[in-house]
Amino acid sequence: MHSYTALRKNSTPYLLILPTVITMIIFSVYPFVSGILYSFTDIKFVGGTATWVGLENFTRLFGGKVNTSINFYKAFQKNILWTVCVIGGQLIIGYIAALLLNEKLPGQAIFRTLIMLPWAIPSVVMALTWQWMYDPFFGLINYYLKELGFIKEYITWVGQPNSTIWPLVIIGIWRGVPFLTLMLLSGLQSIPDELYEAAKVDGASVIQRFRYLTLPLMRPVTMVVLMLTTMWWWNSFDIQRVMTPVLSLGYNSMTLPILAWHEAFQWKHLGRGAAISVISLVVMFVFIIINARRELGDVKESR
Amino acid sequence: MRSKFMPIITILFIASLVFSACTSTPTAAPQESVATEAPIEAPAESEEPAVTEAPAEPEEATTEPVKLSLYSLAWIQDNQDMTVELINQFNEEHKGKIEIEYIQGDWGEVENYITSGVAGGGGIADIVEGDTGMGLGWYDQGFLVDLTPYITDEIRATMPEEYWASRTARDGKVFLSGTVTGSEIIVFYSPAALEKAGIEPSSPDNLWSWEQLVENAKLLTLDANGKHLGEDGFDSANVAQWGFMPRLDNEKIWEEGQIFVMQATGQPMIRKGDDGVWDIFFDEAGIPVLESYLNIVNVGITPDKAIGLTGDSQNEAFAQGQAAMILRGYFNISVLKGLYPVFEFAVMPIPMSSENKEYYVDNWGQGFSIPVTSEHPAEAAEFIFWVQEAIQNAKYASSISMAPVNPDALQDPVLLDDPNWDTMRFYRSIEKLLVVEYNTNQSEFVTSVYAPTLMAVVSGEKTLDQAMEEIKALSKDILNQ
C-alpha cells in the first residue's frame, strides 16, 4: 500500500508532463531523428521507399567537382556571409536604435511602436513588398536611385544569376533590427543610472561610458541575443525563397536551407537535402557549444 | 536532479529512434533502389478498367453522387472561370452520379501538395492538374493511378500519339490526360509601332529569320528624340522604346531558348546519345540561333533590365509602349486581354527559316492526373477524358490561350473565329512534333547549371563557347544520376 502511494506520488509529475513530452516526440524529436536517418538513405520523398546508402550523400556533397558539391560549397560560403552580414548589420543598427530609444526623447512611445513594424509584418507579405520595390523595371528603388543620380541604368537586384546577396542582406537587417533593439533596450534599462552618474562625476566622456560601462554590462544580453539570432538567420529560408523565383537558385544568394529545399523537394533527392540540413545543424551545434562553454567559463570566473 | 532526468531523457530518445525506425523504411542491406526504375504499383482498384467496375456497382449506389474534388492550377481568371464552368456542366450532365468540387491550386505548391498528400495517405483532391514533366516524376514515385484501363479507342483517338507518348511512363502506363500543349511561343507586337517604322510583320508567306528580327528590332529601338538604333545621334542612354523585350531569366532562357534551337536542329537539346547516355547536345545548326538569342542585350535591342524581368513587368512595358515587341507563350493573349482590355496588340510567328518552313515543338503539355489516394478513380477518369473531347477542349484551350491537344478543337467555332489563333493554325500546319523523353534530373540540370551559365552569356560575363564547355563538363553527371 505504501509503495503504491509512493509510486502514485512519484509518478504524478511524470504523468502531468507526459502529453507535452509525447507532443514533443511526435512533432520535434521524431522529425529531427527521421531527418538524420534520411540523410543516410536514398529516399525520394517523405514516407517513400529508402535504401541505406551510408555516407554516400555526404561524400557527394564534399566530393569534388560534381554539381552537388559545387552547389554545396557555394551555398555554405554564402550562408556564412549571409549570417555574419545580417547579424552584424542588425547588431550595429539595433544598438544605435536601442541607445536612442533609451534616452528620454519626446515621442519615444511612437518610435518604439514604429520600430516594431518590420517585425510585425508577415514574412511573405514583407518579402513580396520588397520584391516589388526591387523590381528592375518598375521598382521604387531603381526609380529613386536613378532620380538621385546614383545609378545610370536600372539594376536587376534579386533573383537572377547576376544579382548579388546584398539586397537580401538589407531585407534581413531591416527585418531583424526590431527584435535586437527590443532585447538590447531591455538590457540597457536594467543598468542602474547611478553607474553612469558616478562615471560622469569621474569625468568619463560619452564614448568612455559606452566603452567601459555599457558594453561590458550588456555583454550577457548581447551574447544571448547573438546566439539566438545566429541560429535563426543561419537557418533563414523565407526571405530567400520568396525573393527568388522557383526555377532560379539565385546563385549568388543561395544559402544552405535554399539548396536543401531544392535538393529535397524540387530535385527529389530528399536524402541529400537531409544531409545538407544535418551538416548545417552540426555547424550550428559546434558554434553553440563553443559559445556556451565560453559563457559558462566567464560566469565561473566572475564568481 | 539531473541524475533523475537523464534516464528519462535517454529512454525518450531511444523511444523516438525506435519510433522513427519503425515508420520510415530504410533497409540496412544494400539493395538496388527501385523507386526510380519502376513505379510503385497503384492500388488494385485503379487497375480495374471503368467498364468492368461499373456493372458490379448496385443501382442504389448511384442515388448518392460520388463526390470528387479537382485541384486546379488555373492562374488566369478566364481559365479559372472556364474550369469551374466545365465542372458545373459535367456535374449537371452527371447529376445524381458524380459531383466534382473545384479547389484552387498553385503551380508553386502542387509539388508539396501531392507529395505530402500521398505520403499522408489522403486528404488531397481526386484529380490534380499538372504537366507532362511533373506527372512523370509523380508517377515514378508511385503517386499516380495508371489511366490506361480507362482509355477506350474513342478516347485514344482524341489526341495525337505524340501527345500520348509524353503522357506515358517507361512501363507503358498513361499517367496524365490532355488539355493543352504549351511550348508554342509567339512574338507579340504593337501594330502601331511597326506601322510607324514601316515594318511588315512576319507572316506565313514572309517569315522573319533571326537576322530580320534583329534588324527590325533595331529600327524599333528609339531614343527620346525618335532616332533609332544605328542612326547618327542615337542616344543609347535614353531609350524610350526598345525593339524586342523577351524575359531573360533562368526559366525562359531554357524554355524559349530550346525552342529556337529546336527550329534549327529538329532535335531536343537534352536527349540520349548513341551510347544511350543522357546529355545536352549543342548541335552545330543550333549554335548560331542560340548565339543570336543570347546576344540581344549586347546588340542593344533589348535592355539589360530584361534580365530578371517578371511577366507582369514585361506586359506593363509592352502596354506602356516601352517595348515594341515581346516574346511570350500563347497563353499571354488571355493575360494581356484581361489586364489591358483597350490595348491593341497582335501576334506573329517566332523567327524561323523561310526555306525550311517547319515548326518543331516538343510534346510537353498539361492535363489531369489521379493520385493513388483517390477512392473513385473511375469517376475521376470519366471527367478528365470528358474534358479532352473537342468541344470542352476548345473552351478550355480558349480560356488559357494554349493549343488544345485535340486537333478537332482548333476547328471549333470558339477558336476558329478568333484571328489570334491564326498563328497557331499556321504552326499546326507546319508542325513537327518531337517525342521527347523526359529526364527526371532535368530540373536540377537546368536550374543549377544550364540556365545560370547561359545567363552569364546574356550579361556578357562569358562567351557562348566558355558556357557550353562548362555546361558539358557537368551535364552527364547530373542527367544520369
* Structure confidence by residue, pLDDT tens digits, B238-272: 899 999 999 988 888 998 999 889 888 888 899 99
Please judge whether A268 and B448 are an interchain contact, meaning their C-beta atoms are less than 8 angstroms apart: no
Q: What is the pLDDT of residues B363-419, one digit of tens each?
A: 889 999 999 999 999 999 999 999 999 999 999 999 998 999 999 998 899 888 888
User: Cβ of B432: how many Cβ atoms within 10 Å?
Assistant: 12
Q: Which residues of B touch A154 (CB under 8 A)?
A: 303, 305
Question: Can you give the residue ranges of every domain in chain B?
Answer: 44-182+364-433, 185-358+441-479
B121: closest chain A residue by CA? A47
Nearest to B254 by CA among B473, B476, B471, B480: B471
Please judge whether B444 and A43 are an interchain contact, meaning their C-beta atoms are less than 8 angstroms apart: no
Contacts 24+ apart (CB under 8 A), B386-393: B386/B90, B387/B86, B387/B177, B387/B179, B388/B155, B388/B158, B388/B159, B388/B177, B388/B178, B388/B179, B389/B158, B390/B158, B392/B86, B392/B89, B393/B158, B393/B178, B393/B179
Contacts 24+ apart (CB under 8 A), A207-210: A210/A99
The pLDDT profile of chain A, 303 residues, written as one tens digit per residue, is 566 777 777 888 888 999 999 999 998 899 889 889 999 998 877 666 788 999 999 998 998 667 888 889 999 999 999 999 999 999 999 999 999 888 877 877 888 888 888 888 888 788 888 888 888 777 899 889 988 988 877 777 876 666 788 999 999 999 999 999 999 999 999 999 889 889 988 888 888 888 898 989 998 899 889 888 998 999 998 888 888 765 566 567 889 999 999 888 888 888 999 999 999 999 988 887 877 777 667 656 655
CATH number at B185-358+441-479: 3.40.190.10
Classified as helix, coil or strand, B431 is strand
Geometric angle at alpha carbon A201, from A196 and A206, rounded to 5° = 50
The helix (H) or strand (E) run that includes residue B472 is: helix B464-479
Class of residue B266 by CB neighbours under 10 A (exposed 0-12, middle 13-18, buried 19+): middle
Q: What is the pLDDT of residues A164-204, one digit of tens each?
A: 889 999 999 999 999 999 999 999 999 998 898 899 888 88
Nearest to B379 by CA among B96, B154, B138, B116: B96
Please judge whether B142 and A135 are an interchain contact, meaning their C-beta atoms are less than 8 angstroms apart: no
Is residue B255 less than 8 Å (CB to CB) from chain A? no
Separation between Cα atoms, residue B129 and residue A147, nearest integer Å: 46
**β-bridge partners, B223:** B239
Q: What is the pLDDT of residues A56-100, one digit of tens each?
A: 999 989 986 678 888 899 999 999 999 999 999 999 999 999 998
Is residue B480 less than 8 Å (CB to CB) from chain A? no
Which residues of B, range 108-137, sit inside 8 Å of A by Cβ? Answer: 108, 111-112, 115-116, 118-120, 137
Q: Which residues of B touch A21 (CB under 8 A)?
A: 12
A74: closest chain B residue by CA? B448
Nearest to B183 by CA among B258, B75, B280: B258
Nearest to B447 among A45, A50, A249 (CB): A249
B452: closest chain A residue by CA? A161
> Domains along chain A?
23-302 (1.10.3720.10)
Grid cell, residue A189, equals 534599462
- R_g of chain A computed on alpha carbons: 24
Return the CATH superfamily for domain B44-182+364-433.
Periplasmic binding protein-like II (3.40.190.10)
Nearest to B250 among A29, A34, A248 (CB): A248
Separation between Cα atoms, residue B199 and residue B216, nearest integer Å: 7
A46: closest chain B residue by CA? B119
Is residue B447 less than 8 Å (CB to CB) from chain A? yes
pLDDT of residue B302: 94
Separation between Cα atoms, residue B406 and residue B150, nearest integer Å: 18
